[in-house]
Structure 1
Amino acid sequence: MNDTLIKVEDLCKIYNPGENEVRALDHVSLEIKKGELVAIIGQSGSGKSTFMNMLGCLDVPTSGKYYLNGTDVSEMTDNELSEVRNHEIGFIFQGFNLIANLNAIENVELPLIYRGIDRKTRHELAIESLKMVGLEKRMDHKPSEMSGGQQQRVAIARAIAAQPPVILADEPTGNLDSASSKEILAILKKMHKTGRTVILITHDNGIAAQARRVVRIMDGKIESDTINPDFDQEEA
């Protein structure tokens, strides 16, 4: 059985090809196995956001290959990429991206509507995922009636409701205080423990230290790829 979920080979992303070209990604190769908890860390301008856009099928590489679950997604059309994003990847962003006039359940249900899931099933999935993030008492609340940490938990519930194989979290604690950040990281670790593949994109060493594996990006290249010796599997 092949347990490789993500395989990136010689990936390049070049902006303004020619004299003033910018190599946002410069021959990056990487494999991520099913069920891993990986942090991709880099400073602003390092290429980590470009890399996240590639992994999330939000953009296509200039050259190189990207296999997701054994399928080459690097040469897909926009419509095909949209399908992949819809079914394979759960996104958690720094901005919670919730719809202001919808309550928590309705926000979580929204992507499930696009997936064609019937009303009863999506309602059950939304309730289940909100319970997983500890919001069973806030299901009828709108974003304005919740704290930042609670809104981010709704965003996580939305990302995991359809049970996608990959959870891609881009600076998921960027807008939160330290107590809320801790809660969100604990939830992401819990996801990992249930077998999800969780990829954290961050510039923060403290957050990267929560992951089992840390990939550092600098100048569009992978600078290091290490297993965190202090990672506590039990705690996770």
Structure 2
Amino acid sequence: MIHIENMKKIYNPGENEVRALDGIDLDIEKGDLVAIVGHSGSGKSTLMNMLGCLDTPTSGKYVLDGQDVASMTDNQLADVRNKEIGFIFQGFNLISNLDAVGNVELPLVYRGVSKNERKQLAMEALKSVGLEDRMKHKPNEMSGGQQQRVAVARAVAAKPPIILADEPTGNLDTKSTQEIMEILKELHRSGRTVIIITHDEEIASQAHRVIRILDGRIEEDYCNR
């Protein structure tokens, strides 16, 4: 599903250049549960931006589900993000004046989904993360764990094949962290490709495959199974 070949991302080319990614070769198969691990400054966030089509590499190849996305225009990248990838961020990024259903519906508006179908998909997604009794609650009426479950529901409502989670448990307590991980593992079991960006070794240990990034390069790539 994902093929990356000699990917580089260089900021400030020249004497003071920063090689955020320095020749990444990577394949991720459909249905993988992968943790990409690294400390701050390792390049893992830059790699996440590339995987999520939020940025383009300086050089190298990135093929996503048969499409060469490294050379796409901004509009084409936006289309890929909209259809292929569900994003989960550390900060929840919920709209404060919308209830849970409204927050989950919002990305579906940009996909051109009809009002009735949007509502149905949003309610199904919220039920799938155990929030059927919180659908009319706004973010300030929910715990951090519940807000992150709304964010997960928002990411999966349109049924994208790839879930890209950036430090999805970074703001959560231990109990909520494990609840979110169980939801991500269930998404994986349902056939989604789940990629988790994390610095947390406990989170990484629950993935099937661990990719360690250091100084813009892959240092280790191994299976936990």
| Offset, 1:197 | 0.4
Deviation at 1:6, TM superposition (A): 0.6
Distance 1:74 1:68 in 2: 9
Deviation at 1:139, TM superposition (A): 0.2
Partner residue, 1:17: 13
Which whole-Å CA distance do the structure 1 matches of 2:38 and 2:211 have between them? 9
**Which of 149, 152, 168 lines up with 1:153 in the alignment?**
149
2:85 pairs with 1:89: yes
Q: Percent identity?
A: 69
- State the 1:54 CA deviation: 0.2
1:191 matched residue in structure 2: 187
Distance 1:224 1:165 in 2: 26
- Cα displacement string for residues 4-50 of structure 1 (whole angstroms, at most 9, x for unaligned residues): x1111110000000001110001101000111100000000000000
Q: Hey, what's the Cα distance between the residues in 2 that align with 1:191 and 1:184?
A: 11
Pair 1:174 & 2:170 matched: yes
Shift of 1:112: 0.2
Among 195, 213, 216, which residue is 1:217 paired with?
213
Q: Post-superposition shift, 1:94? A: 0.2
Quote the offset at 1:190 in angstroms.
0.4
**What aligned pairs does 1:113-152 form with structure 2 within 5 A after superposition?**
113-152=109-148
Alignment of 1:31-46 (within 5 A): 31-46=27-42
Query: Which residue of structure 2 aligns with residue 66 of structure 1?
Result: 62
Offset from partner CA, 1:43-84 (integer Å, 9 cap, x none): 000000000000000000000010110100001111111111
- The structure 1 segments of at least 4 consecutive aligned residues displaced by more than 2 Å after TM superposition are none
CA distance in 2, matches of 1:109, 1:134: 17
Structure 2 unpaired stretches of 5+: none
1:233 counterpart residue number: none
The 2-side partners of 1:126 and 1:185 are apart by 20
SS in 2 for 1:192: helix
Give the TM-score of the pair, scaled to structure 1: 0.95
Taking the aligned partners of 2:28 and 2:218, their CA distance within structure 1 comes to 14
Determine helix, strand or coil for the equivalent of 1:200.
Answer: strand
Q: CA offset at residue 134 of structure 1?
A: 0.2
Secondary structure, aligned partner of 1:206: helix
**How much does 1:118 deviate?**
0.4
TM-score, normalised via structure 2 length: 0.99
Where does residue 51 of structure 2 map in the other structure? 55
Show the counterpart of 2:26.
Answer: 30
Please, what is the CA RMSD of the aligned residues? Answer: 0.5
Mapped partners of 1:6, 1:98: distance in 2: 29
The answer for the alignment partner of 1:76 in structure 2 is: 72
